[in-house]
Amino acid sequence: MERRDFIKTGLVTAAAPTLILADIETIKRSRKPMAISTWNHGINANEEAMKVLLSEGSALDAVEAGVKISEADPAIQSVGFGGRPDGDGHVTLDASIMDSKGNAGSVAYLQNIKHPVSVARKVMEETDHVMLVGNGAKNFAISHGFKEENLLTEESRTSWLKWKKNRRKKDDFGPNDDHDTISLLAQDLEGNIAGACTTSGLAFKIPGRVGDSPIIGAGLYVDNEIGAAGATGRGEEVIKVAGSFLVVELMRQGYTPQDACKEALGRTVSRHDGNPKFQIAYIALRKDGAIGAAAIRKGFKYALSSDNQNKLYSVKGIIN
């Protein structure tokens, strides 16, 4: 063997242990359970998700349990029970869920069922469909043991009546700051990732309107090899750029989770001459446990739970 070849071989041999060590580090970090979710109520959702994760439950069980807390809370007027109704006074719910094997389920325009995320999970696990809507989704839910109940609280009814009284001809939606959809992404002790997203959608929307939250790739996307992303905000604009799918694909290309969220928002911002009048925010979780969050405008908060901490973080807008 020539000396040059020997050095080459030597280098390869010397480099191998470093690579192996790096892999072990990645695996170790990815085995730290964590949950990241949108808005203030993400704190309670994360707490529930972490209970599941810390008792060695799956990321899928964790995201479902987590967002069910928001769905059941009547004080949260943007998700589930107590959500603001559509223009006709009906609470209509959208939700989606994805597991670490790339399976997905979703429901849209679902009425009178308190936990749309659990119906979405049933669609994913017990049918070979991905999405059920309206009465079909409701009948499916009832046939799987879900109870029909009134989801319109007095508080949401009052705000709907007020909106009806004051509405202008062109005013189909509630105020622009009304977007507290919960997206929750989690990683379990095995390092697997899952996500869920659930909402009552835009307040006072045109009856029949469906947003981004139940659209796989828009409101939510999970690829267990790379990571996951979830959205909140003006759903129409998230759908147009396949927002959550875009964030995950950007991470696949090497963008950090933070830069991926910003780049995805940038696509929307430039479609609106640099100054959109609405809010969109993304959260992202990469396979190695790195996270990102970004919003078009100030005011967005996300909740992050890891290392025995569950804290709310404010995000500066990318344009203000």
Given candidates 202, 215, 261, 284, which one binds ligand SD4 under the rule CB under 6 A? 202
Burial of 72 (0-12, 13-18, 19+ CB in 10 A): middle
Locate 54 and state its tokens. 């810390």
Stretch of 3-11, 127-135, 177-185, 243-251 lying at the interface with ligand SD4 (CB under 6 A): 177-185
Segment lying near ligand SD4 (by CB under 6 A), choices 143-151, 196-204, 248-256, 284-292: 196-204
Rounded to whole angstroms, what are the CA distances from 206 to 76, 89, 172, 190? 21, 10, 6, 43
Interacting residues with ligand SD4 between 44 and 103 (CB under 6 A): 78
Residue 268 interacts with ligand SD4 (CB under 6 A)?
no
Sheet containing 280-286: give its strands across.
220-223, 227-233, 280-286, 291-295
Q: Which is nearer to ligand SD4, 85 or 233 (CB)?
A: 233
- Which residues within the stretch 204-243 sit at the binding site for ligand SD4 (CB under 6 A)? 211-213, 232-235
Measured from the CB atom, the residue of 230 and 292 that comes closer to ligand SD4 is: 230
Residue type, 146: F
Residue holding tokens 């071989």? 9
Instruction: Give the count of residues interacting with ligand SD4 (CB under 6 A).
Output: 14
Q: Cβ of residue 26: shortest distance to ligand SD4, in angstroms?
A: 33
Dist. CA 262–CA 80, nearest whole Å: 29
115, 121, 179, 301: which one binds ligand SD4 (CB under 6 A): 179
Instruction: Give the Cα separation of 300 and 305 in Å (integer).
Output: 17
Annotation marks residue 181 as catalytic: yes
Tokens 């060695």 correspond to 56
Cβ distance to ligand SD4 smaller for residue 30 or 96: 96
Which residue lies nearer to ligand SD4 by CB, 53 or 184?
184
Angle ∠(210,68,176) on CA atoms, nearest 5:
40
Rounded CA-CA distance 312/145 in Å is: 35
Query: What is the C-alpha R_g of the chain?
Result: 21
> Closer to ligand SD4 at the Cβ: 37 or 224?
37
Q: Is 111 in the site for ligand SD4 (CB under 6 A)?
A: no
Q: Phi first, then psi: what are they for 303, rounded to 5°?
A: -110, 130
CA distance 193 to 251: 15
Residue 120 CA to residue 1 CA, distance in Å, equals 63
Instruction: Indicate which single residue of 44, 192, 199, 244 sits in contact with ligand SD4 (rule: CB under 6 A).
Output: 199
- From 3-11, 174-182, 187-195, 221-229, span contacting ligand SD4 (CB under 6 A): 174-182
* Shortest separation between residue 237's beta carbon and ligand SD4, angstroms: 9
Taking the least distance from each CB to ligand SD4, the nearer of 50 and 108 is 108
Q: Are 83 and 91 in contact (CB under 8 A)?
A: yes
User: Any idea which residues carry the catalytic annotation?
Assistant: 181
Using CB under 6 A, list all residues that contact ligand SD4: 78, 179-181, 199, 201-202, 211-213, 232-235
